[in-house]
Amino acid sequence: MLVTREEIGHSVDVPRLRHLTLANPPFGVCVSDTGDPPTTTASPSSPDVDQQALADPAAVQSSEEPLAGRSLPRIMAIANQKGGVGKTTTTVNLGASLAELGLRTLLIDLDPQGNASTGLGIENRGLELSMYHVLMHEEPLDNVVEPTDVKNLFVAPASLDLAGAEIELVPAFSREQRLKRAIDAVIEDYDYVLIDCPPSLGLLTVNGLAAASEVLVPIQCEYYALEGLGQLLRNVDLVKRNLNPTLDLSTILCVMFDARTKLAGQVVGEVREHFGDKVLRSIIPRSVRLSEAPSFGQPINTFDPRSRGAIAYRDAAKEVHASVTS
């Protein structure tokens, strides 16, 4: 099943940010004309915005109230069809933070760019085996998995060959279920499997969604944050109805938050108002150190463990894992 626009006949309601104005900020966000970071006030008609989260996202503690109960192992597809929104950064650093909690975590790099692989110190050029061989030649996933320098964190790397898999999968038998079968063979060895989907809605992403039990969407705290999100949610729903009935949009993570801008607070408020408890309380700040870490082949919690980005991703990992029921 190849997802196309024509196959999607129904709409999914998502918030539009075009109505955001400084004169009428949503969700209790108070905006001044001084250029200071946004502050918050309680609103009886909407949930509270955590003032500390807006002023210092890295200082936010995990919510005491867990999300809907989940059980281990968990398979999460990290997806957003827009590029440059922190999807791979979230996959790498959330995975490393979960591993830091003692949870065996497998990161599957489905993006032909292979940034999740290189971000963990895996050179993806000249690999003998990669996710391309798992999808196209049914190579056992165990043969592809590589250890990383982070204890409990493993990666199934991508190679440039994966770019051709989108076309090669078109005539393939059971093309949407290949990743699911590969993961099913190894799932008992891990607590978490995080799938870094490419920034597109092709067959690689469909494989990721068909294999996952839940979807985590990183949303950039900027004006066009929700551009394309409606299409992603429609495809999630389409995969759920046709391929994977257990698939659920479980988690939204606000990333690239800049407390110096008024708009960032408005975006966070709008997203929380629309998606409610699916939005993590933890907010990932825009950070130079987060941008530098991949060039050293390290996640942020080993590259700069005391940075605001490292603290924020640790809090996000604790919050994600807090929803697990024993």
Cβ burial 17-45 (10 Å sphere, 16+ → b, else e):
beebeeeebbbbbebeeeeebbebeeeee
Tens digits of residue pLDDT in 84-110: 889 999 999 999 999 999 999 999 999
Residue pointed to by tokens 């996202």:
57
- Beta bridge partners, 220, equal 255
CATH number (domain holding residue 120): 3.40.50.300
Identify the weakest region by mean pLDDT among 139-153, 172-186, 224-238, 300-314: 224-238
In a domain, 282, yes or no: no
Q: Which helix (H) or strand (E) holds 251?
A: strand 249-257
Residue 151 carries which side chain, given as an amino acid letter?
A: K
* 301 vs 48: which has the higher pLDDT: 301
**φ, ψ (nearest 5 deg) of residue 288:** -65, -40
Number of domains in the chain: 1
In a domain, 305, yes or no: yes
pLDDT in the model for residue 47? 38
Q: Which of 317, 71, 73 is nearest to 186 (CA)?
A: 73
Grouping H, G, I as helix, E, B as strand and the rest as coil, residue 283 is strand
Tens digits of residue pLDDT in 185-196: 999 999 999 999
pLDDT in the model for residue 172? 85
Rg of the chain (C-alpha set): 19
Residue 232 tokens read as 């992603």
Q: How long a stretch of residues is the chain?
A: 326
In a domain, 50, yes or no: no
In a domain, 296, yes or no: yes
Identify the weakest region by mean pLDDT among 17-21, 29-33, 66-70, 142-146: 29-33
In a domain, 23, yes or no: no
pLDDT in the model for residue 77? 97
Q: How far apart are CA 89 and CA 81, in angstroms?
A: 15
Eight-class DSSP state of 284? E
pLDDT in the model for residue 11? 42
Q: How far apart are CA 123 and CA 297, in angstroms?
A: 9
In a domain, 222, yes or no: yes
In a domain, 59, yes or no: no
Q: Is the overall model pTM greater than 0.85, yes or no?
A: no
In a domain, 196, yes or no: yes
pLDDT in the model for residue 226? 72
What is the span of the domain harbouring residue 304? 66-247+288-321
- Beta bridge partners, 252, equal 217, 279
Tens digits of residue pLDDT in 304-322: 999 999 999 999 999 999 9
Q: Are 98 and 75 in contact (CB under 8 A)?
A: no
Grouping H, G, I as helix, E, B as strand and the rest as coil, residue 157 is coil
Q: Is the pLDDT of residue 48 over 50?
A: no
pLDDT in the model for residue 66? 40
Q: Which helix (H) or strand (E) holds 133?
A: helix 131-137
Residue pointed to by tokens 């990383």:
148
Q: Are 262 and 113 in contact (CB under 8 A)?
A: no
Residue pointed to by tokens 């922190």:
86
